[in-house]
């Protein structure tokens, strides 16, 4: 069996809007009346300065759209975004679409059949024999089990694989009945749209994927939910989520590192999913990390917002652009379950 390694990465975004602009131009009215002051404070303290929207509320208000209408728009908007991320990742890896043996897609913000895996494989010129995998409704942590599955394929088959994570959270703006719901306010203040793709091969010049591990605390399954309603997908986000992460994150990270003869202090790159400022604060505190260790995660939150599954890959993209790229990296992502995923990467020659 070969050692799988990340040898290409590409990202793509729809247009960006400033957080203050989107508050003044839309959400200030959306939350007019009851709890407007609370909503403003949540937006101002979200850690987000700008974010991306394929369907901007400054142009189109989707709050009262049916789920069917949102899903049709999802298909129209996500295809070009996915193509852009895939093209950049393949170019970064020096491969053609026809070289791929596996194409995996993660998305929890839209569904259609034929799905993105079929349509993008067709449009990008992948082989008719390419194997495909679609991962849905895993939410913000989906990139890491997706990366694990692609890495296992590469290790077993010796052929390249590509993972695409694409999310359009802007399509799930909730209607008037949720405007005083604190969980919806937090969701509307944080979430954003993006696509990110990674190519995995057996080329030793990339970041070797050493291990992917997970822990799920099913006793807190109701703390983070993503429910399909007649008016889009509705987020449930308990304020207890950081406390659950605090109880599990250090133990899981140390278990993975110990199996590879490493300690927390040996890791020089941390790609932590920026679910929000409190999430990052808890991870930093529990792992005893210096402020600089999560600089890229906080920067991604500020510039791009929480883009769900692509976000941890956006942080990885920032880390590899350091003047001296990290030699070892830990990727951390969290989501429904409550679930924590950890991936250990080693190597520093991935091209930026």
* Per-position pLDDT tens, the chain of length 352: 689 999 999 999 999 999 999 999 999 988 877 678 999 999 999 999 999 999 999 999 999 999 999 999 999 999 999 999 999 999 999 999 999 999 999 999 999 899 999 999 999 999 999 999 999 999 999 999 999 999 999 999 999 999 999 999 999 999 865 545 888 899 999 999 999 999 999 999 899 999 999 999 999 999 999 999 999 999 998 899 999 999 999 999 999 999 999 999 999 999 999 999 999 999 999 999 999 999 999 999 999 999 999 999 999 999 999 999 999 999 999 999 999 999 999 985 544 4
From the number of C-beta atoms within 10 Å of its C-beta (0-12, 13-18, 19+), residue 345 rates as buried
Residues whose CB is less than 8 angstroms from the CB of residue 80 and which lie 6 or more positions away in sequence, other chains included? none
Query: What b/e readout covers 256-293, taking b as 16+ CB neighbours within 10 angstroms?
Result: bbeeeebeeeebbbbbbbbbbbebbebbbebbebeeeb
Active site residue 108: no
- Going along the chain from its start, the domains and CATH numbers come out as 5-201 (3.40.47.10), 207-346 (3.40.47.10)
Contact by Cβ (8 Å): 312, 304: no
As to burial, measured by CB atoms within 10 angstroms (0-12 exposed, 13-18 middle, 19+ buried), residue 177 is exposed
Closest residue by Cα to residue 196 from 62, 331, 291, 73: 331
Which residue in 106, 108, 140, 165 is the catalytic one?
140
| Partners of 211 in the β-ladder | 344
């Amino acid at each position: 069996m070969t050692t799988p390694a990340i040898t290409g990465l590409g990202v793509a975004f729809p247009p960006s809007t400033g957080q203050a602009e989107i508050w003044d131009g839309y959400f200030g009215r959306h939350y007019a009346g009851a709890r407007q002051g609370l909503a403003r404070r949540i937006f101002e303290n979200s850690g987000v300065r700008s974010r991306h929207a394929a369907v901007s509320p400054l142009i189109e208000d989707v709050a009262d759209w049916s789920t069917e209408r949102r899903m049709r728009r999802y298909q129209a908007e996500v295809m070009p975004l996915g193509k852009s991320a895939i093209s950049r990742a393949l170019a970064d890896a020096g491969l053609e679409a026809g070289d791929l043996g596996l194409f995996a897609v993660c998305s929890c913000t839209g569904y259609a059949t034929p799905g993105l895996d079929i349509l993008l494989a067709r449009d990008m010129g992948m082989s008719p024999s390419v194997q495909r995998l679609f991962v849905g409704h895993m939410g913000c942590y989906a990139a890491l089990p997706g990366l694990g599955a692609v890495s296992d394929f590469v290790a077993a088959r010796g052929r390249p694989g590509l993972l695409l994570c694409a999310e359009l959270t802007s399509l799930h703006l909730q209607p008037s009945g949720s405007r005083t719901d604190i969980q919806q306010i937090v969701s509307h203040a944080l979430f954003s749209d993006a696509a990110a793709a990674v190519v995995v091969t057996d080329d030793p010049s990339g970041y070797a994927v050493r291990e992917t591990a997970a822990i799920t605390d099913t006793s807190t399954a109701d703390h983070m939910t993503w429910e399909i309603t007649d008016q889009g997908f509705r987020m449930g986000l308990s304020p207890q989520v950081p406390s659950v992460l605090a109880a599990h994150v250090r133990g899981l990270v140390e278990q993975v590192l110990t199996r590879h003869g490493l300690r927390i202090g040996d890791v020089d790159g941390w790609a932590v999913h920026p679910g929000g400022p409190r999430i990052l604060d808890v991870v930093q505190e529990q792992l005893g990390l210096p402020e600089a260790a999560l600089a890229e995660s906080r920067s991604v939150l500020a510039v791009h917002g929480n883009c769900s599954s692509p976000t941890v890959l956006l942080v990885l993209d920032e880390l590899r652009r350091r003047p001296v790229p990290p030699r070892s990296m830990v990727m951390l992502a969290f989501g429904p379950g409550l679930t924590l995923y950890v991936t250990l990467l080693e190597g520093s020659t991935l091209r930026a």
